[in-house]
Structure 1
Amino acid sequence: MLLLPAAVVMAYRFVPPPATPLMAIRALDDHGWSRAWVSLDRISPDLVRAVIAAEDQRFCAHWGFDMVEMRRAVDDWRDGARLRGASTITQQTAKNLFLWPRGDVLRKALEVYPTLLIEALWPKRRIVEVYLNVVEFGPGLYGAEAASRALFGRSAAGLTPVQASLLAAVLPNPLGRNAARPDGFLNARAARIRGFMRGVDTACV
């Protein structure tokens, strides 16, 4: 059983994943299904920087799990805060490709193996490329190209820094926020992301 995921992960290093469990779930919920695979060369570097800045600022330094952020999340929880997620882009890619969206303990445990496989078998550039082609940016919108065209009327290659930051800002809640019609909260989050974009490390991509 362990060999099958390894073979699939290796295949996805070279070929686009045809679909994800989340896409099927959302389609059954009548959210539609819009997706157009593009290479990373056809996605704005501003979106790459924005997503790394928003989701995983130590992406280039870790091996799938950000132990620094995980320790901070636990410390904050012990101090009385709500336990927050500390998932890396690699973990989110593994979840999107192979698992279900709910953040229960079983899913988090099952996430470990494909996360390690992806980090072992793919370069960082491929991880970002797959992530940006399967991640949900809105109801029925998967990947940077489909989202950019639906929300901003342009290709993913032509995204401005502001548009890129707005797309990154919706990722924690793509069904509840709209990058094309941002409210005050989303604009403020996008502005913070643009601030982080200036210093984020993308050398591995």
Structure 2
Amino acid sequence: MARRSRAKKKEAAPLQAIRDVPRRVLRWAFRLILIAAAVLAGLIVLFSVVNPPVTPYMLSESRRLGGLERTWAPIEDIAPVMARSVVAAEDANFCTHWGFDLKAIKAAIADGGERGASTLSQQVVKNVYLWHGRTYTRKLLEALLTPVVELVWSKRRIVEVYMNVAEFDEGIFGVDAAARHYFGVSAADLSATQAARLAAILPDPKGRSASRPSDFVQRRARGIADGAATIRADGRAACFES
């Protein structure tokens, strides 16, 4: 009887080890998720005060092009009209939402998905922490991280980082590099027209030009200039200008 019992135990051991494999995989997957979440949380806190040295998209473009043009400019060294132009162009309700513009989302759905509804906060999360593309995984991560960034970062910091990581032409990142590239001036010396044109080429910087604007870009720039003046007058620029 003892021999039979030991034989059964020997036979059962490999089967039990096989059954334990999914549990081990799940445990390791859970640990990896926790580690990744901790790293991202640490980076969100870190980049609230430290400038992101590079982004995943910049790395990809740098490898493809053999280098980039980019100079970080503190928001104090960027013409205020540039920040207002970016917000007017990309996210006019930036000061009134917590990371997601529900009105813009509803309008985009009603429009059949023809218009975008991403806020500046979402775009910063995508540009700084994630990758470009329309995968469900990236959109889910973006949705999870955006409220955290809104909670930890100030609105002023979000605008500052956005203006410094946005692409304005092939291999041209940040408004200071863009101002020099298109107009031969620093970000601090941008005029209202130049700022509106830079904002107008987003989100298609490779297909539009700020120095040789098409009729579409000129019309869009005029609308952005009006919008920038409007949000300054009605107080919707207060959260990032104070």
Mark yes or no: TM-score above 0.5: yes
Query: What is the CA-CA distance between 1:31 and the residue it aligns to?
Result: 6.9
Specify the code of the residue in structure 1 equivalent to 2:81: D
Q: What is the match of residue 157 of structure 2?
A: 126
2:192 alignment partner in structure 1: 161
- Aligned-CA RMSD value: 1.2
Name the residue aligned to 2:46: 11
Other-structure match for 1:38: 73
Give CA deviations for 1:97-123 in whole Å, capped at 9, x if unaligned.
Answer: 011111233221111122111101011
Distance in 1 (alpha carbons) for counterparts of 2:68 and 2:165: 11
Residue 106 (structure 1) aligns with? 137
How many residues were matched structurally? 201
Match of 1:202 in 2: 237
TM-score by length of 2: 0.80
**Larger % of helix: which?**
2
1:1-205 pair list within 5 angstroms = 1-30=36-65, 32-77=67-112, 82-200=113-231, 201-205=236-240
TM-score, with structure 1 as normaliser: 0.94
Which amino acid letter does the alignment assign opposite residue 147 of structure 2?
L
The code of the aligned residue for 2:58 comes to M
Deviation per residue, 1:21-67 (Å, 9 max, x gap):
11112123217411111110000111111000000000000000001
State which structure, 1 or 2, has the greater radius of gyration over its C-alpha atoms: 2
CA contact (8 A) 1:89 1:128 kept: yes
* Structure 1 consecutive aligned stretches of length 4 or more whose deviation exceeds 6 Å: none
* Higher RCO by CA contacts (8 Å cutoff, separation 6 or greater): 1
Q: Any idea what SS the aligned residue of 1:52 has?
A: helix
1:31/1:108 CA distance change after superposition, 3 Å: farther
Which 5+ residue runs of structure 1 have no aligned equivalent? none
Query: Unaligned 5+ residue runs, structure 2?
Result: 1-35
Task: Give the residue type in structure 2 aligned to 1:71.
Answer: K
